[in-house]
Amino acid sequence: MVTVSTPTSKTRTFELYDGLSVTVEKRGARSASAVLMLHGGAGPRSMAGFAAAMSEHAYVITPTHPGFDGTPRPDWADSIADLAEVYLGLVEKLGLRHVLVVGSSFGGWIAAEMALRDTRGRVSGLIMLAGVGIAPEPPLEIADPAKLGPVRTGELAFHNPALRPNPAAFTEEQRAVGAANLRTAGVYTGVMYDPKLRGRLHRITVPVLVLAGEQDGIVPLQYQHALAGSFPRATFRSIPQAGHFPHVEQPASVFAAIGEFVSTEIKPDGE
């Protein structure tokens, strides 16, 4: 296990099983309520600011999915279900209980699969930030960044033009990492949904908060409504003036929605 510390976080790489290791960034006080934060195709940096802010009130664990940002990925780890099993194992290895799982984009899909597989009551609730996973009903579609290219993806993902990445300013290394991350995301997600997932979500008994950017051009707002309707205990909140990353564009609104959800739906110590 390798440890790297900064004034605000600690990064560790855990060897789990079958040649798989996970790099994890820890923030906040260990005595606080635990939050597992799962990034989507944009990579771990897309969650960094949000994780840092949440760590003022929680113990935040942010893993890098194997294969992202140059981390190793064994050949057998090639599905969302695999990642769900990996992170349930990580939660157990860390000795965490009553964990609130927050997932962005396909990170929300991982969160749902974790809840479906959680036989030990370790997951206390889910927060899905522009989550995906269920099959879209025609004519709705989920935009595929691999087909759109970085410029169009940025236009669809961010409501605020000032926050859209400028691919022309990227270094060769940044371009290479971005392309590799996109390929890795494709390995895990395939067509960005599981046609059988919607029919299984009724088995999730923990409370779920679905947060959707009203100007999300990657995942339509109607899709987010359908996703929320697939859970028996879901709360839906739309975030104005936000695209696919509401926690980046409108963090205050997102934190307000999360605060209300936690105070009303998440029982202390998972009771």
Encode pLDDT of 125-161 as tens digits: 999 999 999 999 999 999 999 999 999 999 999 999 9
| Superfamily of domain 2-264 in the CATH hierarchy | Alpha/Beta hydrolase fold, catalytic domain (3.40.50.1820)
- What is the rounded average pLDDT of the residues 240-261? 98
* pTM to 2 decimal places: 0.95
Q: Which residues contact 114 (CB under 8 A, 6 or more apart)?
A: 84, 87, 88, 101, 123
Q: What tokens appear for 132 in the block?
A: 């995906």
**Domain range annotation of the chain:** 2-264
Query: Per residue in 38-64, pLDDT tens?
Result: 999 999 999 999 999 999 999 999 999
Question: Rounded to whole angstroms, what are the CA distances from 187 to 90, 180, 231?
Answer: 21, 11, 26
Give the per-residue pLDDT at 28: 96
- What is the rounded average pLDDT of the residues 73-95? 98
Percent of the chain having pLDDT more than 90? 94
CA–CA gap between residue 89 and residue 247 (Å, rounded): 27
Q: Given pLDDT bands bounded at 50, 70 and 90, which one contains residue 3?
A: very low
Give the per-residue pLDDT at 193: 96
Query: Per residue in 186-217, pLDDT tens?
Result: 999 999 999 999 999 999 999 999 999 999 99
